[in-house]
Amino acid sequence: MDTGTHFVMGVGLFALAHIDPQAVATPEATSGLLLAMVIGSQIPDIDTLSRFRGNTTYIRQHRGLSHSLPMLIFYVLIISLTLTFFHLSPPFLHLLSWTALAVFIHAGTDILNSYGTQLIRPWGKHWIAFDILNIVDPVIIISHTLGFMAWSFGASPGKTFLIIYLFLAVYVFAKMLYHARTSKRLKKAFPDSRLHVLPVLNPLAWQIIVETEQSFQVGRYEPGELIWQFSIKKREADLELVEKSKTLPSVQAFLAFTRHAYVMTRPVNGGCEVRWVDVRYFGRPRYPLMVTVRFNAHGHIIADYLGWGNDHRVERRFVPVE
């Protein structure tokens, strides 16, 4: 999920923790609990700092080791022990339990969206993603907003957010069933294609990607209706240059991230350009996710760019390759 959603859920979990009298028995305990919930709901995204080392490093590392099971356990322990050391906490086991809930809900919601995490590192590096929730889910945001409003008007925070989180558990389960039913129905309609059903902002709709040997078809599925948005024919690309581009860390990071990569080649400034685009974002002409590799007339790589942008942005941000 996005940073804002994780923050909102951290405060929501702090409100929920009021059902535990010992967790909020004193002002110091309450303050420590709030810190634990907010920090715990954010700390797995500490790898966002890798942006300072460039998009390639960020895309390669984000939600990788930082979201692995050993690191999640480490976060819980370091937050709980630090707050206990400074005497800013409820009884240790209560703090440990609520901190664990915040950290693991962060990881759990990330697994439920289309990016996923490398939860089982170091035992495996494959991504686990269930494609259930959008990065920003309006049901989660609205339910928390209503809960905060009720709290501000004097409602019991613990009871209010207990109801909200029970509702959200039912909501997520219902979306999982809806996703499974939609996938099953579409697989029957496209039996010989590679199918991907992805969440969008509307909780009742899905983005559909159908990949065949000849093309990608992208559409939007709403209850009982499939609306095709665009189709991309797979062009013949310069295979030699495409294979050369795969030696770059930027292309390797991109291919590890995306599940539907579209590659094209075109002549540019006396040389050639290989461009990889994530089909999920192809319909957003301003800021699709792409990696672009420039070759000179002799077929040598001279520059590359990985990130979100259009042609103008790419031209300004090319990084020379030595």
Q: What is the pLDDT of residues 204-236, one digit of tens each?
A: 999 999 998 888 999 999 987 899 988 888 877
- Is residue 320 predicted with pLDDT exceeding 60? no
Mean pLDDT of 34-54: 92
Q: For residues 311 and 264, is the Cβ–Cβ distance under 8 A?
A: no
Q: What pLDDT sits at residue 293?
A: 92
Q: What is the mean pLDDT of the chain?
A: 90
> Tens digits of per-residue pLDDT, 113-136?
988 899 998 898 888 999 999 999
- DSSP letter string, 194-226: EEEEEE-SSTT-EEEEEE-SSEEEEEEEETTEE
Q: Where are the alpha helices (DSSP H) in the chain?
A: 3-16, 27-42, 55-61, 69-85, 92-111, 138-152, 157-189, 239-245, 249-257, 311-317
Return the pLDDT at 83.
94
pTM for this structure?
0.88
Is residue 286 scored above 60 in pLDDT? no
The C-alpha atoms of residue 176 and residue 166 are separated, in whole angstroms, by 16
The 10 Å Cβ neighbour count of residue 20 is 16
User: Do 178 and 118 contact (CB within 8 A), yes or no?
Assistant: no
pLDDT at position 135, please? 92
Residue 313: predicted pLDDT: 54
